[in-house]
Amino acid sequence: MGHLTVGDAESVDAAERARDLMATIGARARTKNLQRVTDLEEGLRAAATGTCSDDSRLALVDVAHQLVGSAGTFGFARVSAGARELELMLTETSFADPEKLTAAAARLEGLRQDLLGEPDEETDD
């Protein structure tokens, strides 16, 4: 008793490989999501200067939507929720309102900080 069998060792090794793979995938997703935040910031700056075309705005909606899904998948619920709010704002006809743009820029900085931290803790609320 207390000894690992060959099958047990293989199971432990497979579990470690799976954890390593998920960590690698999560790190790549974090990097991609941080780039999405940067892309959204650049788009908001273009909107603030009046140089954001309708096509560019639609592309930003897509970027925000990708951030919603990816962040949520990897446990960043606050980032996902914040990106969803940005996605909705970008679909509004008055998205270029200066106050909305200022608030969105501040939101994006918060999302960046959240992405640099650890995923959200699960709660039973």
User: Would 26 be classed as within a structural domain?
Assistant: no
User: Would 15 be classed as within a structural domain?
Assistant: no
User: Would 1 be classed as within a structural domain?
Assistant: no
Residue 96: what pLDDT? 80
pTM: 0.83
User: Would 19 be classed as within a structural domain?
Assistant: no
User: Would 17 be classed as within a structural domain?
Assistant: no
- Per residue of the chain (125 residues), give pLDDT as tens: 556 565 666 777 888 999 999 889 999 999 999 999 999 999 999 999 999 998 999 999 999 999 999 999 999 999 999 999 999 999 987 778 889 899 999 999 999 999 999 998 654 44
User: Would 42 be classed as within a structural domain?
Assistant: yes
Residue 48, class by beta-carbon neighbours within 10 Å (0-12 exposed, 13-18 middle, 19+ buried)?
middle
User: Would 106 be classed as within a structural domain?
Assistant: yes
Best CA proximity match to 35, nearest among 111, 96, 88: 111
Q: Which domain holds residue 63?
A: 31-116
Residue 93: what pLDDT? 72
Number of domains in the chain: 1
User: 52: which 2 tokens?
Assistant: 């954001």
User: Would 69 be classed as within a structural domain?
Assistant: yes
